[in-house]
Structure 1
Amino acid sequence: MTNVKRTIQPRFFSANSTIQFATATGKAKSSQSSDLPVLTPPSVGYWLLFTTLMVYGVIVVGGVTRLTESGLSITEWKPVSGILPPLSAAEWDEEFEKYKATPEFKLLNSNINVDDFKRIFYMEWSHRVLGRLVGLAFIGPLAYFALRKKITPNMTKQFTGLAVLLGLQGALGWFMVKSGLEDSILTTPGAVPRVSHYRLASHLGAAFVLYCAMFVTGHNILKDWRYAHKGQWNGLNGSAWENVLRNPVARSFRAKAWALTALVFLTAISGAFVAGLDAGLLYNEFPLMGGRLAPPSDELMNPEYAKREDKSDMWWRNIFENPTTVQFNHRVLAITTYTASGVLWALARRPALKAALPPATLRIATGTFAMANVQLLLGIGTLWYLVPVSLAASHQAGSVALLSMAMVLALSLRRPGAVAQLWRRRLLATTSKQPHS
């Protein structure tokens, strides 16, 4: 009896769909179908995950840019011509003169020279250029895959949304930088030349949304292709996934994993408020704050932050604008996230869940809790050592890593896509009709 080797060609199928089989004799046999849709090939998934990795890099470099106070060194937004840095001494002098007109130079950096300026300029320039490279790495291959008809029609909206998010990042970045260049900072008592923490959180939040969308899309493409071709789903074969996902215990665990993902995301965005207000420089101890679990209530809800005469905006302004309250909230969210990841890990070790969940989910639950431990230690170290660049940047990178692990945990209990299921059924049906000798 000869073995049958099968390959599926990914194409748009309009009038005809073809599953091809290459037999040991070298003769190809086909099964024609008019209702078999295209299955996005793994090359698209790998491309998306590579672009996701680049977005990860942009987030980390952006964090370093803020920590080194380099973000306001470039005073103009030139999406095309800004790719090149100054190339001559005259161009550097011109760029430095523009920076001298900013509030940051006048209030904080009036003693720096052009060589000092170059260091902060190149930091911000690297962040902007890396963002442009992400755009090229996304748009170029996207056009190629679209022309080669390797992207399904029903995924067009997803890729369009990703492109819009990518473009929005550049606009949000400049919108954020502009807030730190406004001349009103010079005339506002006690004002510090820095970007709006609201705009910073929006910029980082949009980057996280883009990262998550790319990550999930790329991950699902690869998992669906693997299931359609090999029948493998998280360490299980065939239709075993149906029994797993019918189990209420597994469905409940998946819901909890997505809740953990949302909690990690919220905690990371609260960290942007901490960064934007330099709140990490207060209360550099853990787990206490000034020798107690929480600062005094009048410090957490300080009426001086209210701008309305009736003080009706005091509660929300303290939550978002009071550095003490912002750090406290971030601590509470971080501890809640850590506890939630530990609870999920403990649940996965219970006999009932160990029997119900696939092996991959159990391993990922352990990895997620391990990453939560690393992230907690990085956060504590960042506080204890007064926010050094290396630890703070690692803490921001750790937030993305933890978010990724939480998403993978939830996605490990995702059912194969409808198209992948259809291809798998058609492949099995066609294989069973092949003659054997």
Structure 2
Amino acid sequence: MSAAQLPVISPPAVGNWLLLSSVLVIAVVVVGGVTRLTESGLSITEWRPITGVLPPLSRAEWDSEFDKYKATPEFRLLNSRISLEDFQSIYYMEWGHRILGRTVGLAFVLPLGYFAFRRRLARSLRGPLLGMAGLLAAQGALGWYMVRSGLEPENFTTEGAVPRVSQYRLAAHLGAALVLYAGMFAAALAVRADWRFARDGAWSRLADGRTWEEVLRNPLVRRFRVHVAVVSGLVLLTALSGAFVAGLDAGLMYNEFPLMGGRLAPPLNELLSFRYASASPIDGGSGLWRNLFENPTTVQFDHRVLATATYLATALLFASSRGAAMRAVLPPLALRATAAAFAMANVQVILGISTLLYLVPVPLAAAHQAGSVALLTAALHILLALRRPGVAALAWRKANLARKTTTTGDKPKINV
């Protein structure tokens, strides 16, 4: 087959662009976490996607923004004594988060248009990348939907209500960001792996004569992939439960580990309190199940249980990869990625416990949130190390092997 007849295979530049985009998403997630920890997220009371790019530039504009903030429940109930300088500090924190979000959008959409126009995108990438572009656009609207929940006075009419965004909307916003990051990162590594495979047959650093088909057909490898998928799901679920912990300030409830109030679990009537079974001013509804999402004690306990389950699952995954039988069948890249995942799980446990014991300081809490993304990255890396080459990569590899047999032994090149 000629190059014109072969399917389009994305070049390394596409993978590098996707990798950079995924790094920018991580930055947005971490800055968003710091914004929430510093209670800066409700300082900007309007959503202006275009005109909001510039911050206030004059004293009159600052006074106008400050007056808008003074009308919010957060100012009346918590920050009624802050000065204009204090307000500027939290305003810039939220403004920086929004500007970084816009930067991610431009850094993703503009190159996407360029690569699409130049026909550098493999067919298997086109749908997912369009989906990511749509999710990026939706993230802006979802972020404002989340902020609105902390600005509406009717949400804080009950006694003891604290001005904060809805933990449900916060979890949705974070979850969408993690899905977006995972999609970009997975696509980036897939593009780079496919290019290497098409060029010289390299797959997961396999160098012992086995083919990728032999490896992936092995029953032990199939079971291992299922285990990795379970670990990845647990990491994502634990991160989402962390959003509920953050949204309710549940990390300040029991600042000890592994006990909670001198016992492994708080009393049942504290975990399933009828206080949280009544209708919520934020989303309505009732039932004891609401304790799972609205009771700070239950939310912290759930996060501890999920974190422990995630750590144990990752430790078991690592232990199984060290066995002689598994080491003999897994490719080197999968073995290294598994070791990296277990190492990151240990770091994440240390960060989580430290954050709890030291009453959620901003640097530790931000590092803990970044650690969850790093652990998700490691788990995804294992899955991608056990991924079969794409259709385009297989076609190009076959064509290059055929071309190689008709040359004088020179290494064939791919012209895309």
TM tier relative to shorter chain: over 0.9
Query: Aligned residue for 1:293?
Result: 264
Query: Aligned residue for 2:294?
Result: 321
The answer (yes or no) to whether the contact 2:149–2:155 under 8 Å persists in 1 is no
Answer yes or no: is 1:37 the counterpart of 2:7.
yes
Q: Which of 239, 242, 249 pairs up with 2:220?
A: 249
Per-residue CA deviation, residues 93-137 of structure 1 (Å, 9 max, x unaligned), is 111111001000000000001000000000000000000000010
Q: Which has the higher relative contact order, 1 or 2, with Cα contacts under 8 A spaced 6 or more apart?
A: 2
SS in 2 for 1:233: coil
Letter in 2 for 1:130: L
Taking a change above 3 Å as real, the CA distance of residues 262 and 434 of structure 1, as seen in their structure-2 partners, is same
Query: Aligned residue for 2:251?
Result: 280
CA distance in 1, matches of 2:239, 2:329: 31
Taking a change above 3 Å as real, the CA distance of residues 179 and 436 of structure 1, as seen in their structure-2 partners, is closer
SS in 2 for 1:218: helix
Taking the TM superposition and a 5 Å limit, the aligned residue runs for 1:110-121 are 110-121=80-91
CA distance in 2, matches of 1:334, 1:388: 19
Query: Aligned residue for 1:71?
Result: 41
Which deviates more, 127-136 or 184-193?
A: 184-193
SS in 1 for 2:56: coil
Per-residue CA deviation, residues 234-286 of structure 1 (Å, 9 max, x unaligned), is 11157622211111001110111111001100000000000001100011000
Query: Aligned residue for 1:5?
Result: none
| Count of equivalent residues | 404
SS in 1 for 2:304: helix
Rg larger for:
1
Structure 1: runs of 5+ lacking an equivalent? 1-15, 19-32
CA distance in 2, matches of 1:136, 1:120: 25
Query: Aligned residue for 1:260?
Result: 231
Tell me the C-alpha RMSD between the 2 structures: 1.5
Query: Aligned residue for 2:277?
Result: 306
Query: Aligned residue for 2:347?
Result: 374
**Structure 1 residue runs of 4 or more that deviate by more than 6 Å after TM superposition:** none
Shift of 1:17: 3.8
TM-score for both structures, normalised by structure 2: 0.95
Query: Aligned residue for 1:134?
Result: 104
Taking the TM superposition and a 5 Å limit, the aligned residue runs for 1:46-57 are 46-57=16-27
Residue identity (%):
60
Shift of 1:152: 2.6
Shift of 1:153: 3.6
> Counting strand residues as a fraction of each chain, which structure ranks higher?
1
Query: Aligned residue for 2:414?
Result: none
Query: Aligned residue for 1:151?
Result: 121
Taking the TM superposition and a 5 Å limit, the aligned residue runs for 1:33-432 are 34=5, 36-237=6-207, 240-307=211-278, 313-432=286-405
Which deviates more, 180-189 or 92-101?
A: 180-189
SS in 2 for 1:415: coil
CA distance in 1, matches of 2:127, 2:2: 23
The answer (yes or no) to whether the contact 2:231–2:379 under 8 Å persists in 1 is yes
The answer (yes or no) to whether the contact 2:8–2:122 under 8 Å persists in 1 is yes
Which deviates more, 149-158 or 325-334?
A: 149-158
The answer (yes or no) to whether the contact 2:125–2:187 under 8 Å persists in 1 is no
Per-residue CA deviation, residues 293-321 of structure 1 (Å, 9 max, x unaligned), is 0001111111221127xxx9433101111
The answer (yes or no) to whether the contact 1:103–1:185 under 8 Å persists in 2 is no
Shift of 1:154: 4.0
Shift of 1:190: 1.7
